[in-house]
Copies of this chain bind each other. A is one copy, B any other.
Amino acid sequence: MSRTVYVNGEYLPEEEAKVSVFDRGFLFADGVYEVTSVLGGKLIDFGGHAKRLARSLSELEMDAPVTEEELLEIHRQLVSRNDIDDGLIYLQITRGAADRDFHYPADTAPTIVLFTQSKPGLADNPAAKAGIKVISVEDQRWGRRDIKTVQLLYPSMCKMAAKKAGADDAWLVEEGKVTEGTSNNAYIVKDGKIITRELSHDILHGITRAAVLRFAQEAQMVVEERAFTIDEAKDADEAFVTSASAFVMPVVEIDGAVLGDGKPGAVATRLREIYLDESRKTAI
């Protein structure tokens, strides 16, 4: 069955959803993106994603081709047209198409593309019950990971390295400290304390991260925002990652070291429940 994809104002069958080879997203990775989860046909934290999108565009001096209200309407149209109950909506905006030149073109309309991915039972992912295994790899990404750009080749390479090593994902390490996962923020729990790297240009400012830390504090959990090493992580009581599509995902093994009893920890499990409950309540 062909999906309906949104491209620059048009709803098209996916086979016809194309961009110019001169699009700067294709030639220069000159574009930003967001992924919003859909649960029960409703959008999770749409406002958070819209806000971060605006910041990414602003950091790259790009104009938003649509208002937040229009963006919401496109998301809803795609949910409806593709009959999405649980799944993801991917959104990408690039600086548009122009003859190839490193300099930004003067008067080019941005390109905007959105498509859906149906993921029935997204919130009941069996991986959340088993926990995932991660390996550590050197963080070789560019320096502005706070801007959510489509320069995703290195995370992609690391996901493949993890797969080849028999693991589910990779944690990135820079100057001895974990920055984050390939497509998620990373956390450890030690003596009841949740530890995760503080916000900076070094990591993505996760929308799910912000929500989970807020819920953790509301539940009287102690949160410490600081960088940690892989050795510290291997010695932790539990660990987890957060992202818009994985929510809160327990990590049970790091570089072959089994955490605790090798099962998802109590803190991660509880935070996942709270996050899903609260997010469903405020979904739009």
A201 vs B31: C-alpha distance in the bound complex, in angstroms? 25
**Do B26 and A22 touch (CB < 8 A)?**
no
How many copies of this chain sit in the oligomeric assembly? 2
Residue of B nearest to A3 (CB): B99
CB within 8 Å of B: which A121-167 residues: 138, 140-144, 149-157, 159-160, 163
Q: Which chain B residues border A100 with CB–CB below 8 Å?
A: 90, 115, 117
**Do B138 and A143 touch (CB < 8 A)?**
yes
- Given A102-B152, A102-B182, A153-B151: A17 in contact with B21 (beta carbons within 8 A): yes
A138 vs B5: C-alpha distance in the bound complex, in angstroms? 39
Q: How large is the interface on A (under 10, 10 to 19, 20 to 34, 35 or more residues)?
A: 35 or more
Q: State how many angstroms separate the Cβ of A25 from the closest Cβ of chain B.
A: 5
Q: Is A269 an interface residue (CB 8 A)?
A: no
**Do B21 and A153 touch (CB < 8 A)?**
no
**Do A143 and B144 touch (CB < 8 A)?**
no
Residues of A bordering B, CB below 8 Å: 5, 7, 14, 17-23, 25-31, 33, 60-61, 90, 92, 94, 99-100, 102-104, 113, 115, 117, 138, 140-144, 149-157, 159-160, 163, 182-183
